Structure 1
């Protein structure tokens, strides 16, 4: 009959010497990448305009601000230019992505269980800053570049030409806007 207490048995089993093969096997186990996991090596800010969920690279984002109505700029009628907005004492040209991308800004609805607030995304392309009104802000989406899928052929053609791909975020499919394609369009709205 074994009269040694269970705690004493555990202590005795851990007191023994550990050989190099045992250490090597466990080191290899923890060094191996997790099966089926991918490193999220990219990020974007996801938002909704109308019924479309879109995202811009986080490198473009300066800040998120409350939505304010833009002041019209006289003698400027470029497509997308809504006017200028004052955010924190600084003026930003307000560009409507809905107009540039051909999206119905009135479409879409809020996701259930969430309060939806219109916001302004303050973004920078090259040396210029812009305010982009959005209907809803999801937040930052992290994803693996290898998981980006091509846009579906049924996507609005105005949006499709500015997309670099689509990623899944929970139950949403988010279109990734290509900054190199969209940036010149933002700047063109100021001419």
Structure 2
């Protein structure tokens, strides 16, 4: 007799998915609290694996690596002005709707735009355009897709920061070996914060140095 033949599915007939006539329901409230249900789950996990299932997975693992097999890195891609930039996904905590920061009196550190409310909590708001020395204005109109300003909540050394961005592309996976050297024509203010450039979907994306940028975030609060 197979495991499938000895299993009972009383929950579908007289239990919570059936007519609720099981006398044990009054005691257990729900079938998942009953020993019959948990025993059936154990038997299901112990059932024999069919040859078709084994062949299917054997064929899957025999396939050569796909085109994205070498994609060992991932970053969140966003836009400031005309510049597409990226930070490692490990830094990101939350993507929130855009909100205007409130100025802090007697605090004029470079890049510190004030504080902003995200989900009922206040976070220091960092203006990346000012910090990176780039224009926040869009000079080339975007076509073919809707754009929405966002607040990106990132964390560096136990401190969270809100970064206003003009547009959010999303997560991009790429091969670290394929990262290109930044062009010499990139302005010096931005260039010092870049570790390289990646090409994706027709965009040239500047990969920001998380360590250097995080250090600047921390300095803005001192």
- The corresponding residue for 1:147 is 178
Aligned counterparts of 1:32 and 1:120: Cα–Cα separation in 2: 40
**How far apart are the structure 1 equivalents of 2:213 and 2:203?**
22
Higher relative contact order (CA 8 A, sep 6+): 1
**In the superposition, relative to structure 1, how do residues 37 and 106 fare at CA in structure 2: closer, same or farther (>3 Å)?**
closer
2:168 alignment partner in structure 1: 137
Aligned residues: CA RMSD: 1.8
Query: Does the alignment pair 1:96 with 2:119?
Result: no
Task: Normalising by structure 2, report the TM-score.
Answer: 0.70
Q: CA deviation at 1:39?
A: 1.6
* Structure 1 position 31, deviation (Å): 5.5
Give 5+ residue unaligned stretches, structure 1: 1-26
1:171 partnered with 2:197? no
Change (3 A) 1:109 1:62: farther
Q: Quick one: which of 86, 93, 101 aligns to 1:62?
A: 93
1:122 maps to 2:153: yes
Q: Distance in 1 between matches of 2:139 and 2:88?
A: 23
Paired with 2:147 and 2:184, the residues of 1 have a C-alpha distance of 29
Q: Distance in 1 between matches of 2:199 and 2:214?
A: 24
Alignment correspondent of 1:14: none
Which portions of structure 1, spanning 4 or more consecutive aligned residues, are displaced by more than 4 angstroms?
A: none
Count of residue pairs the alignment pairs up: 164
Listed as ranges, the gaps of 5+ residues in structure 2 are: 1-58
Change in Cα spacing, 1:133 to 1:109, as seen in structure 2 (3 Å) is farther
Q: Distance in 1 between matches of 2:119 and 2:65?
A: 46
